[in-house]
Amino acid sequence: MALLPIFFIVIVAMWFLMIRPQQRRQREAQQMQAMLVPDTKVMLTSGIFGVVREITDDYVLVEVADDMAIKVVRAAIGRVLPAEFGEPTEETDPTAEAETTAEVESSAEVGPAEPKENE
Q: 29 or 39, which is more confident?
A: 39
Whole-number Cα distances in Å, 80 to 16, 47, 54, 69: 28, 12, 15, 17
Q: Is the pLDDT of residue 101 over 60?
A: no
> How much is the mean pLDDT over the chain?
80
| CATH code of the domain containing 51 | 2.30.30
**pTM score of the predicted model:** 0.55
Could you give the CA distance from residue 25 to residue 42 in angstroms, rounded to a whole number? 17
What is the tens place of the pLDDT at every residue in 30-78? 888 878 889 889 999 999 999 999 999 889 999 999 999 999 998 899 8
Q: What is the pLDDT of residue 28?
A: 85
Give the strands of the sheet with 59-65, arranged side by side: 68-73, 59-65, 49-55, 41-44, 77-80
Could you give the CA distance from residue 21 to residue 15 in angstroms, rounded to a whole number? 9
Which residue range is the domain that position 49 belongs to?
3-85
Could you tell me if residue 11 is inside a domain? yes
Could you tell me if residue 113 is inside a domain? no
Close Cβ partners of 51 (under 8 Å, ≥ 6 residues apart): 39, 40, 41, 42, 62, 63
How many structural domains compose the chain? 1
Across 17-29, average pLDDT: 86
8 Å CB contact between 34 and 57: no
Could you tell me if residue 119 is inside a domain? no
Close Cβ partners of 58 (under 8 Å, ≥ 6 residues apart): 73, 74
Could you tell me if residue 23 is inside a domain? yes
Confidence of residue 100 (pLDDT cuts 50, 70, 90): low
